[in-house]
Amino acid sequence: MKKLLLCSVGATFLAAGIVSTKAAATDGRVTRIVREVNLLPFDAAARPAALNDQVKEGVGVRTGGNARSELTFNDLTLTRLGANTIFSFTKAGRNVQLENGSVLLRVPRSSGGANIRGRAVTVAVTGTTLIVEANRAGRSKLMVLEGSARIALVRNRSQTRDLRAGQMLEVPAGATTLGQPVDIDLNDLMKKHPLITGFGPLPSRDLIAAAARDRGRRGPGDETVYQGQPVGGGRPPIVSVGLPFPGGGIPPRGPGGRNPGGTNDPGRPATGGAPNDPGGNTPPGGGRVPGGRTTGVGGVTTAPPSQSAGGNTGPILRRAPARQPVPRATPPPIR
């Protein structure tokens, strides 16, 4: 009888230990506190967070003005919270609810991915480091530091965009469609963003640095060039199709929405001989390059017969010179 009782007690403690270990595996641990950070248990009053606190699934975390915090999970998933943030999680930090504020999420490639849900958008990630900002009015912003992510509207799930490292997408409050992502300067962001500075090095910092180098190494054949874009001395910087021109402008249009000197029909030649770009835009300066050259997709330029070698009438193919990426300042956080 005594042996049976001892076995029963031992089994109880073993089961409790297994449950405790399983719970700890899904908990987050507070590894950084800057100013006011509170935990919001679902069955108790809010209390100040302390270093090494275990944060269980479903427990909210709220930061005050100018406050920041960091949670680390067993699989090395990392979550950093900015000022005025209200956040909770399940699935060991890989299912995140962002009510307000900003969150940096680093998910190891082997962890099976993660999802972030805000009031207006959802973001799906696999092996990625990114920053999501949102406010109660529904404005949202996604910045991908390395890896890739897919963003979708809560109100219209058919509206999705895929972003890769070095891209950002802003979504205004009440949006029913998604715009196009734009490039950001990763090196600038790593030096200035409050979820980067003041913390220890990110485990994915080498991947982010590699992504920044890759964005800066774009060769002339690696990007799409506006058709009709002048090349050579004094030319404007080459900008990928779908991105704004430097300074936030867009290719100008003439009266009635037509391109300067051309039609507005994608794929048809513009008046003057230069084709339109896929979006119907012909960059400033007309569709011809001095000397009769035109620029095609990929930065390939052709010379007229009078410039061909040996008197042949076939075109000479040239590559547009490489450019440095247009620097973009770190965008201000959403308020």
Name the domain boundary from 168, 196, 216.
216
Same domain, 77 and 46: yes
- Is it the case that residue 144 has pLDDT exceeding 60? yes
pLDDT of 33-88, one tens digit each? 999 999 999 888 999 999 999 999 889 999 999 999 999 998 888 999 999 999 99
Flag whether 195 is in a domain.
yes
Same domain, 206 and 227: no
Beta-ladder partners of 168: 143, 182
- Is it the case that residue 20 has pLDDT exceeding 70? no
Flag whether 4 is in a domain.
no
Flag whether 325 is in a domain.
no
Same domain, 111 and 228: no
- Is it the case that residue 241 has pLDDT exceeding 90? no
The per-residue pLDDT for 49 is 95
Q: What are phi and psi of 269, to 5 degrees?
A: -65, 140
Are the CB atoms for 283 and 228 separated by under 8 Å? yes
Flag whether 75 is in a domain.
yes
Same domain, 178 and 106: yes
pLDDT of 207-219, one tens digit each? 999 999 987 765 4
Looking at the structure of the chain, the number of domains it has is 2
Same domain, 227 and 202: no
Domain region containing 243: 221-319
